[in-house]
Structure 1
Amino acid sequence: MRREPLLRKSRFSDDQIAEASLRLQCRNEIVVYGDIAADAQTWQTLRARAIAFIDNAHTKNPERAGLDLKELRTALRDQPPEVFEALILHLCADDFVRKGPVIARLSHRPALPPDLQLAATKIREALSKKPFDPLSRKEIALNPHAGQALRFLIEQGEIVDVGQNVILLRESFEQMQNAVVAFISERGPSTVSDLRKELRTSRRVIVPFLEHLDRAGITKRNGDERTLHERLVRDSFEHESAKLN
């Protein structure tokens, strides 16, 4: 439980409680982590259960970056937020690491199992046929194996999830981004139609792609036109100035 409410309810002084807590810690009877104080055996049992769930996730889905923290919390029967957070911090102080929404062993390296490698190859091939106007995510992930392989490729950064059912190979995404920046730099404010024609893609792809660039601070929408974000223009100017000096 949290230590602060415990202190407020106690008739003992802070010094007496601190001394007693230290004595119990030295005897390995309690665990104190952050604002949480727990019976040592109860805490170790909870920690062991969490580790078992994480290890099982690594074994069952070696292609994934780790176990989703929401899944772990549900598996642990929805511990109070402060207890769950203390548990995660305790794990990450040892052999585990938090990576965004997931937790994994430090030694874990995502890898596609043999039964998903063919699916990954087919996804790469499908997206490379029309790199600037590829099949939609739904058309790619037609079965569980394809879905798992696609998730792996996205997590590893090989494929970019643009949004609105659009996915692109990383190389294609970067080529499109560079083309947009070059076009706007040369022509000035540009419409969706201008950029769609320049990239020879479809409206289905270019609209979410440009919205992705807006969110990333590459482009900025002004009505029906896109300009380069002020930060990008400033960085480019500073880079050119440095070259001249």
Structure 2
Amino acid sequence: QLVSTTQFSITISDSDKKLIDEYLQIANSELFININSEFKNRELVNLMIQGNYFTKIDSEIVMSSQEYKMIVNKIIELMKNNQDVKVAEVRDYLNISRKNALLILEHLDEQKITKRNGDFRSLNIK
């Protein structure tokens, strides 16, 4: 049985606030962030995901939610102009590695924003 209360709030310690600032600085300098190598406090990262500071791309990678939205919008724009696109086109358009282009495209496939058809991806418009 679950109990809810309106008085519940999460209290963040001063040391956690410093870590949050550190994590946000990392997010400002790196586009794709490996949780395991960059962040000491996994619970804090989960709170930051819940608070929309980070967007989880896969089990190990997060990115700034602000950067994520910009990248998704750029990919949507590219696909609206070109219909079907290959990973290489996204890589070149965003000026990122093939590995990261594939990572974000697979995430967008899972989110049903895009769909894969062989080597091509397109917007998942119904």
Specify the alignment match of 1:184 in structure 2. Answer: 79
Work out whether residues 55 and 63 of structure 2, in 8 Å CA contact, stay in contact via their aligned partners in 1. Answer: yes
Whether contact under 8 Å (1:219, 1:229) holds in the other structure is yes
Q: Is the 8 A contact 2:33 2:63 kept in 1?
A: no
Q: How does 1:150-165 map to 2 (within 5 A)?
A: 150-165=45-60
Quick check: 1:116–1:148 contact (8 Å CA) kept in 2? no
Alignment partner for residue 67 of structure 2, among 169, 172, 185?
172
Aligned length: 126
- Larger RCO (alpha carbons 8 Å, 6+ apart): 2
Residue pair 1:154, 1:161 contacting (<8 A) in 2 also: yes
Deviation above 6 Å: which 4+ runs of structure 1?
none
- Residue identity opposite 1:129 in structure 2: S
Give the equivalent residue in structure 2 for 1:207.
Answer: 102
Matches within 5 A, 1:73-84: none
Does 1:135 find its partner at 2:38?
Answer: no
**Separation in 2, partners of 1:206, 1:121:** 27
Please list every run of 5 or more consecutive structure 2 residues that lacks an aligned counterpart in the other structure.
Answer: none
Partner amino acid, structure 2, of 1:121: D
Deviation at 1:113, TM superposition (A): 1.8
5+ residue gaps in structure 1?
Answer: 1-86, 97-104, 232-245
Q: How does 1:1-245 map to 2 (within 5 A)?
A: 87-88=1-2, 91=3, 96=4, 105-131=5-31, 134-141=32-39, 143=40, 146-231=41-126
What TM-score does the superposition give when structure 1 sets the normalisation length?
A: 0.48
Computed over aligned residues only, the root mean square deviation of the Cα atoms, in angstroms, reads 1.6
Write the letter of the residue equivalent to 2:21. Answer: T
Q: CA deviation at 1:175?
A: 0.3
Q: CA deviation at 1:164?
A: 4.5
Structure 1 residues 203 and 109, CA gap change in structure 2 (3 angstroms): farther
Look up the SS of the partner of 2:42 in the other structure.
Answer: helix
Percent of residue pairs bearing the same amino acid type: 17
Separation in 1, partners of 2:6, 2:103: 35
Distance 1:140 1:151 in 2: 14
